[in-house]
Amino acid sequence: MADLVFFAGTMDCGKSTLALQMDHNRRARGHRGVLFCKFDRAGEQMVSSRLGLRRPAVEVGDDMDFWAYLVDLAVGGTVVQYLICDEAQFYTSAQIEQLARIVDEMDIDVYAFGITADFRTELFPGSKRLVELADRVQVLQVEALCWCGRRATHNARLVDGQMVTEGEQVIVGDVDDAAARASVPDAAPAATDSGNVEYEVLCRRHHMRRMTSARARQAAPQVLPFDEARP
Ligand SMILES: [Zn+2]
């Protein structure tokens, strides 16, 4: 029986590295799979990890139909045993439903990797639908740390160095791919119409207090991190 599994984590938790490792392990056993990505940091048609691994992947556009894609492969005689879906937070709800149908009706395992919540602490649509539909949600515990040393659980967006909690969920420039990738955590800072956008992972406490590493540096040593200020 195939499963729909959602591997959820923050930005720096090594999701793409694990996605590529799972693909490698399965291919080494002779299984056939397809990799999908969206707005990967390496650009289109690639899953890449910050450790330097990369593999060709199918870029997922908003109008892509996973069900039709898999039917076409089957008709062409290609046997597929698993799908690895990176950056699944950016997929549409309908696409996540297609993936669930593929699991149930084609008996193909689907491993989706994504960030749960955006910089406003709200669920991405793809992640929301995955949480609702997945057979299992596995929270990745790879060490992504806030500047204070706590486990980083939240993503912060910085525009021109200032943390913001309002704005478009995904910043997509008019026709500029680099700007589109500015919405993707892990990407290098990118100039957009709305300013220079970058991301930082924080613990929830410091996300709520909008205390980024830069602000913490400015504040030190007069203001210690709140816990450490206690006797
Ligand atoms: Zn913190």
The Å distance, Cα 184 to ligand 1 centre, comes to 21
69 and 28 in one domain? yes
Whichever domain contains 18, its CATH number is: 3.40.50.300
The Å distance, Cα 136 to ligand 1 centre, comes to 28
Asked, for residue 149, whether it belongs to a domain, the answer is no
The Å distance, Cα 210 to ligand 1 centre, comes to 10
Burial class (CB in 10 A: 0-12, 13-18, 19+), 214: middle
Q: Residues 44, 87, 122, 198: which is the catalytic one?
A: 87
Is 200 annotated in the active site? no
Domain housing 123: 4-139
Whether 192 contacts 180, CB under 8 Å: no
Whether the per-residue pLDDT at 231 is higher than 60: the answer is no
Q: Confidence class of residue 211 from pLDDT cuts 50, 70 and 90?
A: very high
For residues 203-214, average pLDDT: 94
33 and 128 in one domain? yes
* Window from 40-54, 67-81, 100-114, 147-161 with minimum mean pLDDT: 40-54
**Position 100: which residue type?**
A
- The string of DSSP letters for 38-105 reads SS-TT-SSEEE-TTS-EEE-EE--TT--HHHHHHHHHHTT----EEEETTGGGS-HHHHHHHHHHHHH
- CA–CA distance, 103 with 44 (Å, rounded to integer): 26
For residues 196-211, average pLDDT: 91
Query: What does DSSP assign to residue 123?
Result: B
The fraction of the chain above a pLDDT of 90, given in percent, is 52
Q: Which of 104, 139, 174 is the last residue of a domain?
A: 139
Output the pTM of the full model.
0.75
pLDDT value of position 141: 72
184 and 128 in one domain? no
161 and 106 in one domain? no
Q: Which of 108, 139, 170 is the last residue of a domain?
A: 139
The Å distance, Cα 16 to ligand 1 centre, comes to 24
pLDDT value of position 195: 78
Q: What distance lies between CA 57 and its chain's CA centroid?
A: 15
Asked, for residue 146, whether it belongs to a domain, the answer is no
118 and 22 in one domain? yes
* Window from 70-74, 112-116, 177-181 with minimum mean pLDDT: 177-181
For residues 88-100, average pLDDT: 97
CA dihedral 132, 136, 141, 146 (to 10 degrees): 0
- CA–CA distance, 111 with 114 (Å, rounded to integer): 10
The Å distance, Cα 69 to ligand 1 centre, comes to 43
Q: Output the six-digit token pair for 79.
A: 């046997």
Report the number of distinct structural domains present in the chain.
2
Whether the per-residue pLDDT at 119 is higher than 70: the answer is yes
- Give the pLDDT confidence of 17-41 residue by residue, as tens digits: 889 989 999 999 999 999 999 876 5
The Å distance, Cα 76 to ligand 1 centre, comes to 51
Whether the per-residue pLDDT at 183 is higher than 50: the answer is no
Residue numbers in the known binding site for substrate are: 170-173
pLDDT value of position 152: 87
